[in-house]
Amino acid sequence: MSSDTPPVRVGDVRREWYVVDAAGAVLGRLATRVARVLSGKHRPGYAPYLDTGDFVVVTNAQKVRLTGRKLDEKVYHRHSGFPGGLKSVSARERQSRHPERIIEDAVRGMLPKSRLGRKQLRKLKVYRGAEHPHAAQQPRALPVAQRAARD
């Protein structure tokens, strides 16, 4: 940052809304694009210590693609804190029950592990189907690179 550029302040940031269609998108590519917008790295006034990012609405979470054999081999773990409290769920089972959580977890892993990262994650809205209740915010489409499926 040069000396003639004033520092960015939280009050100066004007938040925008973006909508992403996850149908056919590869999970990792989608998550990196969304995390970049949530953290504000797509803006010229990015500051790593401030929340300068925008809101992102992800639709069609149930149609997101996992490449290779990840649907069967990727396992999500959680622990209750009690002895024997480890729960494991495959990606296929999680996608059928809670497809929103797959995208939320992928994006969470790409954000800072701090109060700032938790604040940025609250601006992510993920929905199973194509409908979402954020039409009043007039979200703009956010393009995500989609690769052709290999057979």
Beta bridge partners of 78: 87
How many of the other CB atoms lie within 10 Å of CB of 78? 9
Q: In this predicted structure, what is the pLDDT of residue 151?
A: 46
Residue type, 113: K
Distance of CA 148 to CAs 30, 65, 103, 138, Å? 14, 11, 20, 30
pLDDT digits (tens, 9 = 90+) for 82-125: 999 999 999 999 999 999 999 999 999 999 999 999 999 999 99
Q: Model-level pTM?
A: 0.88
Tokens (6 digits) for 105: 């977890």
Q: In this predicted structure, what is the pLDDT of residue 54?
A: 96
For the domain spanning 16-66+97-141, the CATH number is 3.90.1180.10
Q: What single-letter DSSP state applies at residue 26?
A: B
How many of the other CB atoms lie within 10 Å of CB of 17? 18
Residue type, 24: G
Q: What single-letter DSSP state applies at residue 36?
A: H
How many of the other CB atoms lie within 10 Å of CB of 53? 25
Q: In this predicted structure, what is the pLDDT of residue 45?
A: 85
Tokens (6 digits) for 50: 């401030």
**Cα(42)–Cα(85) distance, integer angstroms:** 40
pLDDT digits (tens, 9 = 90+) for 12-64: 888 999 999 999 999 999 999 999 999 999 998 888 999 999 999 999 999 99
